[in-house]
């Protein structure tokens, strides 16, 4: 996947930059390569290589050579779920050995997997809006459908849920309580619910949620639902990890002006006002009407909801010009069937026009850049001379003798200098 190509990209960066980049850019590639080599990038040990092979084999649902005649499909399913859980733990780990194993695993799965009938649904909203309740209600509804009676080509038999839980900025820990709210869905034989910590990452996702979603697809989960932490107006990274961005709203959660503001409402594909039941039903309806007025001012890209770049509309004449606003209740089931029909319509039209495929291509490039930035920062952090210079600059920061912006520029200059010396030493050798 994206992470597995980073090393190849960096190894050839110096040569590429020597042709079309300036001197400072060549030095960036040099210090990254030097530091990475010092960290011990090499082939996996024989034992680790066998572990990766076994995980890839089990995730793809292939029977093992030592399986006897009494081998059952249920055993294969359980083995696949265990391998999927171990693999997600592997990609989330920050240990250098585990990172190498995760890169190798993703690379092997990419070569062996051919499952393209997948869809990623992202659900986000403010804290307490009922994200986990909606996820469970929607997941149970989908899994409860009679597949023989469905005329649509897309009717998932397996659903995966990636629930991101906020991590403490004090202790670093996370309760991972979202799975507790999905007690029925968690026990369903065709559902996989995985809670993960945000690990202090902003934007609503975990550090490696994109890789975890890819692993679920490799394990033949046709629908992957990604539930973010409670988010605010500007946390929109979920849009870089899903095919459909669903924003949950609370009754009384805003007026027409609130819906007109830029940010998370602007990137949403569907808006759902939850908790439309009991005493809150009328309030929820009023909130939905306010947002319907506001989203009429939003502009969506070509191809959205079935219109391609030549303005050719798909056969489904229900394709809306603006993000739909629905009323739902996770408690009573109100609006859940209509929501699923809307999701299927979006997917069908997006596949016809190629909008979803283009969206995924852009997402892969986004995560390539993000992972590369992370590797460069880590390489600089682990360079001994850079660490020493950083400590000296931090003393100046503590004394108030330098501004943080200027301090960053000085630290960057020291990185460039260290890279230049590494180049000189390499030529001498």
What is residue 188's predicted lDDT score, i.e. its pLDDT? 94
User: Can you say how many angstroms the Cα of residue 257 is from the centroid of all Cα atoms in its chain?
Assistant: 30
What is residue 231's predicted lDDT score, i.e. its pLDDT? 79
What is residue 10's predicted lDDT score, i.e. its pLDDT? 42
User: What average pLDDT does the chain have?
Assistant: 80
Residue 118 pLDDT exceeds 90 = yes
Residue 191 phi, psi (nearest 5): -120, 145
How confident is the model over 232-268, as pLDDT tens digits?
A: 767 788 999 999 999 999 998 765 445 445 678 888 8
Across the strands, what pairs with 119?
223
Q: What is the CB-side half-sphere exposure of residue 272 using CA atoms within 13 A?
A: 31
Q: What is the mean pLDDT of residues 114-128?
A: 89
Read off the pTM. 0.83
- Name the pLDDT band for 29 (thresholds 50, 70, 90): very low
How confident is the model over 159-206, as pLDDT tens digits?
A: 999 999 888 777 777 778 888 889 899 999 999 999 988 877 777 787
**CA–CA dist 327, 274 (Å, integer):** 6
Residue 317 pLDDT exceeds 50 = no
Residue 323 phi, psi (nearest 5): -55, 130
| CA nearest neighbour of 78 among 68, 88, 66, 86 | 86
Across the strands, what pairs with 161?
193, 225
Q: What is the mean pLDDT of residues 126-132?
A: 90
* Residue 72 three-state SS: coil
% of the chain beyond a pLDDT of 70: 77
What does the DSSP assignment read for 195-210?
Answer: EEE-TT-TTSS-TTHH
- Angle 181-340-194 from CA coordinates, rounded to 5°: 35
| CA nearest neighbour of 328 among 151, 136, 121, 159 | 136
Q: In what order do the strands lie in the sheet with 325-327?
A: 191-197, 159-165, 223-230, 119-125, 244-249, 270-273, 325-327
How confident is the model over 195-218, as pLDDT tens digits?
A: 988 877 777 787 889 999 999 999
Cβ count within 10 A of residue 170: 6
Handedness of CA 312, 313, 314, 320 (dihedral sign): positive
Q: Quick check: 159 and 139 in contact, CB under 8 A? A: yes
**CA–CA dist 57, 51 (Å, integer):** 10
How confident is the model over 356-399, as pLDDT tens digits?
A: 999 999 999 999 998 888 888 887 777 788 888 888 899 999 99
């Amino acid at each position: 996947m994206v992470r597995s190509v980073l090393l190849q990209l960096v190894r050839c960066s110096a040569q590429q930059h020597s042709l079309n980049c300036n001197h400072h850019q060549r030095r960036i590639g040099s210090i990254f390569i030097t530091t990475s080599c010092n960290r011990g990038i090499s082939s996996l040990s024989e034992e680790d290589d066998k572990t990766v092979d076994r995980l890839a084999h089990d995730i793809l649902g292939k029977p093992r050579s030592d399986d006897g005649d009494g081998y059952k499909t249920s055993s294969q399913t359980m083995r696949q779920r265990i391998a999927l859980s171990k693999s997600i733990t592997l990609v989330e780990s920050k240990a250098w050995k585990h990172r190498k194993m995760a890169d190798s695993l993703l690379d092997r799965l990419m070569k062996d997997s051919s499952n393209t009938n997948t869809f990623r649904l992202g659900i986000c909203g403010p804290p307490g809006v009922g994200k986990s309740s909606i996820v469970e209600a929607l997941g149970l509804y989908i899994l409860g459908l009679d597949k023989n009676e469905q005329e649509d080509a897309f009717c998932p038999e397996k659903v995966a849920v990636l629930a991101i839980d906020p991590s403490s900025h004090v202790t670093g820990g996370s309760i991972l309580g979202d799975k507790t709210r999905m007690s029925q869905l968690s026990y369903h034989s065709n559902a996989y619910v995985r809670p993960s910590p945000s690990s202090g990452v902003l934007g609503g996702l975990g550090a490696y949620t994109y890789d975890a979603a890819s692993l679920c697809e490799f394990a033949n989960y046709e629908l992957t639902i990604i539930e973010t932490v409670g988010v605010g107006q500007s946390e929109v990274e979920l849009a870089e990890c899903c095919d459909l961005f669903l924003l949950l709203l609370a009754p009384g959660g805003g007026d027409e002006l609130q819906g007109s503001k830029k940010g998370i409402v602007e990137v949403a594909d569907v808006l759902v006002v939850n908790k439309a039941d009991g005493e809150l039903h009328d309030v929820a309806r009023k909130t939905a009407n306010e947002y319907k007025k506001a989203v009429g001012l939003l502009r969506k890209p070509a191809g959205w909801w079935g219109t391609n770049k030549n303005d050719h509309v798909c056969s489904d004449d229900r394709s809306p010009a603006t993000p739909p606003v629905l009323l739902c209740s996770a408690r009573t089931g109100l609006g859940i069937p209509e929501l699923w029909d809307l999701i299927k319509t979006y997917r069908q039209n997006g596949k016809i026009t190629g909008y979803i495929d283009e969206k995924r291509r852009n997402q892969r490039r986004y995560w390539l850049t993000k992972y590369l930035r992370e590797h460069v920062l880590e390489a600089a952090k682990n360079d001994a001379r850079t660490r020493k210079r950083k400590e000296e600059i931090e003393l100046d920061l503590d004394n108030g003798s330098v501004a943080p912006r200027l301090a960053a520029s000085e630290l960057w200059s020291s990185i460039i200098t260290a890279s230049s010396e590494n180049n000189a030493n390499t030529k001498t050798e």
